[in-house]
Copies of this chain bind each other. A is one copy, B any other.
Amino acid sequence: MQKSRIKLHSNVPVILANGIFPKHDMCLDILRNAKILICTDGSANQLNSLPIKPTYIIGDLDSIDKCKTFNSKIIHDKSQDNTDLEKAIEWIYSEGYRDVIILGATGLREDMSLINQFLIFKYFKKINITTVTDHFTISCIKGEKEIDSFENQLVSLIPENRAIVSSKGLKFELEKANISIDGKTISNKSKKNKFKITSSEKLLVFQSHK
């Protein structure tokens, strides 16, 4: 089985959101090794066939009796102003964590997938969100950052709105490029085991799996 490139410190909580259930080994590895696993309501149902139990379940749990089955703790937050995923992030933040890994954030409903990716921007100053999907590890940077990679890794860069971006170590280098949310900065490639990005604004970095 492929080893996760994300260091699973015992104190990094994992959220399983209610998008498409992850299939990639890297996601399942993270799921299996999570010390603290938080399910957003219905996502817990998808764990039935696996020997994995959520530590916490958050949401309005009217339709789910799995909390008993799983013996999970329940986090009640009936706010109408945010999604269950955002409730889970807020709860994690309130518990003092400053890093979180999110699985199941994309796929199925496109409205949810879209706002779930924008949550990374929203919480950037408060909590460091890493979203892992079947295709990518998605993180957010601002300023200068050196990022672990591998040769020919697919790298896509998408800003919140616009950004001035430079790169070092990509196949198509950017030199103070004024970029927006379009196709011009997707499907780039890493040349070696590290690349560097400098961005004037918050920028999503998509890195394909090995």
Chain A residues engaging chain B, CB cutoff 8 angstroms:
81-83, 85-86, 106-115, 117-119, 122, 133, 135-136, 138, 156, 158, 161, 181-184, 186-187, 206
Task: Given A118-B182, A161-B161, A183-B83, check contact A110 B110 (CB 8 Å).
Answer: no
Complexed CA–CA distance, A185 and B191 (Å):
41
Interface of A is mostly: mixed
Cα distance A187–B82 in the bound complex, in angstroms: 11
B111 touches A114 (CB 8 A): no
Please measure, in the bound complex, the distance between the C-alpha atom of A85 and the C-alpha atom of B186, giving whole angstroms. Answer: 13
Distance in angstroms from A208 CB to nearest chain B CB is 9
State which of B81, B111, B122 has its C-beta within 8 Å of the C-beta of A156. Answer: B111
Which residue in chain B gives the minimum CB-CB distance to A85?
A: B183
A156 to chain B, nearest CB (A): 4
Tell me, in angstroms, the Cα distance from A72 to B83 when the chains sit together.
45
Known: A122-B182, A184-B81, A184-B82. A136 touches B110 (CB 8 A): yes
